[in-house]
């Protein structure tokens, strides 16, 4: 297991920085060699690997193979489970609880998320399930830190973000995904207090399960979105050097190690999802972007 500093307070300790998506080179046609290389590449970035997966991806009651593969590779899984299929389904909830008990008592899972971007798609019963499952995990005397995830830019548009966060009082940590390029066309436009509202929403420690800036420069159909390899580096430096100052941040994960698809400036975008294809720290192949060195350096640099 990669050694990481895990009990942190803002401005006096390094904040562990990893990657969110499992993204080997040459996706979606990655070879076995690409997969073998990926685990060592992710370890070099920091060893903290996000695993965002539905709880029943490999069958109800089974620990998802993506979690086991990540753990088996020697990385530290930061697990974010989709739990919607268990909401209002007693049999599914029973199977989910059984899986969670095995996961947190027989595996080293230091961070476990229940639900992803729960503010974007409200679902009756989900919040109650998150609170109930959090209590269940705590009852197992597990060292696992339990959290849920909100989408930061979406939260800024809500009437009462603090109320949304307060609806999950049992979690140990509040996490966010954040893509400031949706609101600003360059990193130098982001105000220094961009994340300051979080302090009014919660007194709990926080984390960022996904942050990103694209390296593609042009996005046909999305004229306000701009990126470049230089912008990625500028955002990384701003994010950890200024934007997180004063916040108790336990970890931050970049969107992906490799670009999630091969892309070219001249190609049209077929959906909004394509905007994220260039957010990797490396190209879809093996070419490194300057952002890779900038993000990797964060595990030995302090915030604040």
| pLDDT tens track for 202-253 | 999 999 999 999 999 989 889 999 999 999 999 999 999 899 999 999 999 9
DSSP 8-state class, residue 211: E
Q: Is 302 a residue whose pLDDT tops 50? A: no
| pLDDT tens track for 241-289 | 899 999 999 999 999 999 999 998 888 888 889 999 999 999 999 899 9
pLDDT of residue 168: 97
| pLDDT tens track for 176-192 | 999 999 999 999 999 99
Question: Could you give the CA distance from residue 269 to residue 103 in angstroms, rounded to a whole number?
Answer: 39
Structure tokens belonging to residue 220:
């046909």
Q: Sign of torsion, CA 116 122 123 128?
A: positive
Whole-model pTM: value is: 0.93
* Helices marked H in 119-265: 126-139, 152-155, 161-166, 198-201, 229-238
The residues spanned by each domain of the chain are 17-300
Tokens 């997969």: give the residue.
35
Q: Is 124 a residue whose pLDDT tops 60? A: yes
Question: Could you give the CA distance from residue 249 to residue 260 in angstroms, rounded to a whole number?
Answer: 27
CATH fold label, 17-300: TIM Barrel (3.20.20)
Angle at 50 between CA 48 and CA 54, to 5 degrees: 150
Q: Is 11 a residue whose pLDDT tops 70? A: no
């Amino acid at each position: 297991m990669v050694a990481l500093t895990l009990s942190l307070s803002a401005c006096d300790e390094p904040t562990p920085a990893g990657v969110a998506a499992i993204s080997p080179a040459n996706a979606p046609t990655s070879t076995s060699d690409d997969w073998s290389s990926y685990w060592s590449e992710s370890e070099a970035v920091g060893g903290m690997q996000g695993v965002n997966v539905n709880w029943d991806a490999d069958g109800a009651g089974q620990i998802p193979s993506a979690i086991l593969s990540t753990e088996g590779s020697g990385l530290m899984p930061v697990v974010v489970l989709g739990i919607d299929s268990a909401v209002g389904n007693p049999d599914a909830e029973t199977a989910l609880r059984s899986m969670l008990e095995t996961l947190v008592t027989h595996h080293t899972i230091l961070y476990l998320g229940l639900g992803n971007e729960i503010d974007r798609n409200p679902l009756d019963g989900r919040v109650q399930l998150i609170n109930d499952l959090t209590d269940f995990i705590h009852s197992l005397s597990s060292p696992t830190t339990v959290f849920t995830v909100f989408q930061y830019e979406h939260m800024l548009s809500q009437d009462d973000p603090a109320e949304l966060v307060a609806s999950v009082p049992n979690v140990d940590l509040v996490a966010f995904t954040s893509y400031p390029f949706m609101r600003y066309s360059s990193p130098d436009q982001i105000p220094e207090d961009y994340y300051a509202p979080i302090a009014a929403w919660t007194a709990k420690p926080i984390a960022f399960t996904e942050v990103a800036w694209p390296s593609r420069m042009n996005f046909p159909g999305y004229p306000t979105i701009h990126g470049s390899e230089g912008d990625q580096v500028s955002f990384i430096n701003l994010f950890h050097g200024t934007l997180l100052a004063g916040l108790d941040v336990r970890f931050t994960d970049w969107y992906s190690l490799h670009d999630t698809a091969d892309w070219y400036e001249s190609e049209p975008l077929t959906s909004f999802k394509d905007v994220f294809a260039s957010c990797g720290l490396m190209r879809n192949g093996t070419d490194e972007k300057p952002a890779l060195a900038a993000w990797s350096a964060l595990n030995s640099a302090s915030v604040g």
